[in-house]
């Protein structure tokens, strides 16, 4: 650390944001929240295009996202609060701060896990194949994370160790961790992860175009590809977090999920090749095969049949034809 230049001698290539909050009268507009919302819309846009391209109904997907997005946001906060409980609970802490999501603190693991739970519930209710939805949304999830990481930039959080590289990120004095007050520029891990996630988006789109990934394989590929990058990027960060066996907790999470993602991908490829058919049935907004659509009440349908039969008989007796 002593070999790095002190703060006054290091020019910042990436400057700190001048502000992260703007006020419209009494209403604060926070860049972090705007980035999260932009990510949600961008991810949904991409997932919707993929879902519709496979024959799915945009309305059906919107109904599923109505469950998945709130679940994901709540889960993201729950994961953060649980894994960093010392920030909110204990002597001198204020538990009410755990609800202040605008201050930052969303765990992607909780977002994806709880979001998937919400989507699964909605799919069960609508009789839609959950893994087909997961495949459609997989690159959209990575795209949403790109926008979310820029929220960390505006909050000046989750950066790496000091660096004199020309892409070093300037961090304001009051945002520097203890022991790093004399260093001005740090590794922009938010940018590293954003670029990595852009590669994940491209990987999934290209692989899906080439191999027609189905039965969860696009989603499993997302899990494996994202966690492979997250593990080494997470290890660069210097924010104070919990460790287990010498590694940051999120590094262990990334390693475990990487293994699970690879295993799930291989098993799915061997047992269920190809893609699900979502152009028919509930996924396309159509009734289940063998069921009669509820477009008319039985009594109305019967009355229509009887009227039609009577008209046909009358025309036959008159000798008329169309």
Q: How many whole angstroms separate alpha carbon 57 and alpha carbon 48?
A: 9
Q: What is the pLDDT of residues 28-53, one digit of tens each?
A: 999 999 999 999 999 999 999 999 99
- pLDDT of res. 292: 55
- pLDDT of res. 90: 83
Nearest CA to 32 out of 103, 129, 100 is that of: 103
Rounded to 5 degrees, what are φ and ψ at 29? -110, 110
Q: How many whole angstroms separate alpha carbon 234 and alpha carbon 213?
A: 29
Q: How many whole angstroms separate alpha carbon 101 and alpha carbon 15?
A: 25
Query: Whole-model pTM?
Result: 0.84
Q: How many whole angstroms separate alpha carbon 41 and alpha carbon 46?
A: 9
DSSP H/E element including 247: strand 247-248
Spatial neighbors of 257 by CB under 8 A, at least 6 apart, are 109, 223, 227
- pLDDT of res. 68: 97
- pLDDT of res. 224: 98
- pLDDT of res. 172: 92
- Low pLDDT (below 50) residues in the chain: 1-3, 5, 7-10, 12, 294-322
């Amino acid at each position: 650390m002593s070999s790095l230049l002190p703060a006054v001698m290091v020019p910042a290539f990436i400057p700190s944001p001048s502000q992260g909050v703007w006020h419209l009268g009494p209403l604060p507009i926070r860049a972090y929240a705007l980035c999260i919302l932009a990510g949600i819309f961008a991810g949904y846009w991409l997932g919707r295009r993929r879902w519709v391209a496979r024959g799915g109904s945009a309305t059906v997907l919107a109904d599923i996202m109505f469950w998945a997005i709130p679940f994901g946001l709540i889960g993201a906060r729950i994961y953060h609060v649980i894994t960093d409980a010392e920030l909110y609970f204990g002597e001198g802490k204020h538990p009410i701060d755990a609800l202040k999501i605008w201050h930052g603190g969303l765990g992607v693991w909780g977002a994806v896990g709880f979001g998937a739970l919400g989507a699964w519930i909605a799919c069960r209710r609508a009789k839609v194949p959950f893994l087909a939805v997961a495949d459609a949304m997989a690159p959209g999830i990575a795209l949403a994370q790109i926008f979310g990481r820029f929220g960390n930039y505006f909050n000046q959080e989750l950066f790496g160790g000091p660096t004199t590289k020309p892409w070093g990120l300037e961090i304001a004095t009051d945002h520097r961790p203890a022991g790093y007050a004399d260093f001005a520029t740090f590794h922009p891990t938010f940018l590293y992860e954003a670029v990595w996630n852009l590669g994940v988006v491209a990987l999934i789109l290209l692989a899906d175009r080439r191999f027609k990934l189905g039965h969860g394989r696009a989603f499993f590929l997302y899990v494996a590809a994202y966690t492979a990058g997250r593990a080494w990027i997470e290890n660069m960060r210097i924010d104070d977090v919990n460790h287990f066996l010498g590694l940051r907790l999120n590094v262990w999470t990334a390693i475990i999920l990487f293994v699970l993602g690879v295993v799930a991908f291989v098993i799915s490829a061997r047992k269920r090749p190809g893609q699900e058919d979502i152009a028919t049935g509930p996924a396309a907004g159509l009734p289940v095969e063998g069921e009669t659509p509820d477009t008319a009440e039985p009594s109305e349908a019967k009355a229509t049949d009887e009227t039609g039969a009577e008209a046909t008989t009358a025309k036959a007796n008159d000798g008329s034809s169309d």
